[in-house]
Amino acid sequence: EAQLVQSGAEVKKSGESLKISCKDSGYSFDSHWIGWVRQMPGKGLEYMGIIYPGDSDTRYSPSFQGQVTISADKSISTVYLQWSSLKASDTAMYYCARQIAVVIEKTAGYAFDVWGQGTMVTVSS
């Protein structure tokens, strides 16, 4: 059974760097895209970006381009989300999720079918 396991909660200060991880267990890691999703306190889900671990092809939401870096190490089945200089506004829960794609009646549909448990990042100013 596919499972994504994320690294633990982090408490950091503004200006510090951070790298959180998402490790696959149980499926062919480098044959699915893996996305990152943010949920700020009291707010909705926000798509951040996505990576194909097989070749590290990465796409960012315009809202997060230049703000974070998504990377992967397929040798250890792990995807990362990193910040070079955290801000208080980065305080949020971060989820990784596996993406699947289907085509039905010539129309494509995508879904995030397996999710990590989430990593809470708290940044103090």
Angle at 67 between CA 62 and CA 72, to 5 degrees: 95
Binding window for other proteins (CB under 8 A); candidates: 14-22, 70-78, 84-92, 113-121: 113-121
Q: What are phi and psi of 53, to 5 degrees?
A: -60, -25
Among 82, 84, 117, 124, binds other proteins (CB under 8 A): 117
Considering the rule CB under 8 A, would residue 54 count as an interface residue with other proteins?
A: no
Please tell me whether residue 53 binds other proteins under the rule CB under 8 A: no
Compose the 30-49 pattern: x for residues touching other proteins by CB under 8 A, - for all others.
Answer: -----x-x------xxxx-x
Say how far apart CA 83 and CA 20 lie, in whole Å. 9
User: Which residue from 30, 53, 11, 36 is spatially nearest to 116, judged by alpha carbons?
Assistant: 36
* Radius of gyration of the CA atoms of the chain, in A: 15
Determine the residue type at 110: Y
Identify whether the C-beta of residue 18 lies closer than 8 Å to the C-beta of residue 83: yes
Question: Using CB under 8 A as the criterion, what x/- string covers residues 82-111 for binding other proteins?
Answer: -------------x-x--x-x-xx-xxxxx
Provide the minimum distance between the beta carbon of 14 and other proteins in the complex, in angstroms, as a whole number: 27
Interaction site with other proteins (CB under 8 A):
35, 37, 44-47, 49-50, 59-62, 95, 97, 100, 102, 104-105, 107-113, 115-118
